Amino acid sequence: MAASVIILGLAISFVFSSFITLPIKKVNRNIEKLKSGKDVEELKIISRDELGELTKNFNELAQIVMKQKQGFKNYASDLERTFIDTLRILIAAIDSRDDYTFGHSTRVAKMSLLIGRRLNLDTQSLKKLQMTCLFHDVGKIRLSDNILNKNSFLERAERIQMNKHPEHGAEILRLADSLRQYIPSVLHHHEWYDGTGYPAGIKGKQIPVFSAIISLTDAYDAMTSKRPYRDNMSKEEAVEELQRCSGTQFDPHLTDIFISILNGLWREEES
């Protein structure tokens, strides 16, 4: 009988202990979830004592934390949209300094994203590519209007100044920590596949892939845009020039992809 009483007492103690510790363990697990940024489900209140009050207070606290988290997400999303919109306005202002290239950066971004999607880049990489395209000529803000709007070919000294705009762009991007990720691609978007470009003279796979993409779309848009010192090329003439410079100025693989995209777009326009 004594043994039975002891066993019964232990069983009751175990049940009572579980009744107390199990909710506490659940609260603790949910605290760990909140700390790691995960959402939590509402805990069931199983008593009306201090333990039940603790569970109730935790549920209320968890709801507040999750609402604040969602609010921060919405704020961050709104901030990102505002930043991108401001960036577009800034780039449009830079492009508008040259009447013949207004909208250039936006067109480069649009065409570059087509290449990026063909390369199966993920969403985050496509966003970064778009931002890089919008930034690629930001360094031109440091060039004089006399150079940007000259009605004839640039003299050697003027060409040297023009060729510094990738470095100027990198210097501008260094002013903000959040923009430094775009520096390599902006700095090297005028490198050539054979190593004869600028500013570093790197070649082949040394060139960041975003730079290699922008090199193509930037050149195509420049060739098909009218300049004060020359007429614009036709689409067909521009494609022929891309093919001619494949392997020297442009990455051959990316060139084939871009031309394939352009041919597809033309077929859609014709139909």
Whether 194 maps to a domain, the answer reads: yes
**Amino acid identity, position 228:** P
pLDDT digits (tens, 9 = 90+) for 216-269: 999 999 999 887 767 889 999 999 999 999 999 999 999 999 999 999 887 777
Answer for the pair 213, 116: CB distance below 8 angstroms, yes or no.
yes
Answer for the pair 140, 94: CB distance below 8 angstroms, yes or no.
yes
Whether 6 maps to a domain, the answer reads: no
> How do the residues of the chain divide into helix, strand and coil, expressed in percent and rounded to 5?
70, 0, 25
Q: For position 145, what pLDDT does the model report? A: 81
**Tell me, what CATH number does 146's domain have?**
1.10.3210.10
DSSP state letter for 46: -
Say if residue 203's pLDDT is above 70.
Answer: yes
Compute CA distances 8 → 5, 17, 18, 20, 22, whole Å. Answer: 5, 14, 15, 18, 21
Whether 60 maps to a domain, the answer reads: no
Say if residue 34's pLDDT is above 90.
Answer: no
Whether 262 maps to a domain, the answer reads: yes
Q: For position 63, what pLDDT does the model report? A: 75
Confidence of residue 178 (pLDDT cuts 50, 70, 90): confident
Give the up-direction half-sphere exposure of residue 85: CA atoms within 13 A in the CB hemisphere: 6
Q: For position 82, what pLDDT does the model report? A: 73
Whether 170 maps to a domain, the answer reads: yes
Whether 69 maps to a domain, the answer reads: no
Domain range for 244 is 97-270
Q: For position 16, what pLDDT does the model report? A: 45
Compute CA distances 188 → 163, 194, 213, 232, whole Å. Answer: 11, 13, 11, 25
Whether 253 maps to a domain, the answer reads: yes
Domain count, the chain: 1
Whether 29 maps to a domain, the answer reads: no
- Burial (CB count within 10 angstroms: exposed 0-12, middle 13-18, buried 19+), residue 132: buried
The residues, any chain, with a CB within 8 Å of residue 178's CB and separated by 6 or more, are none
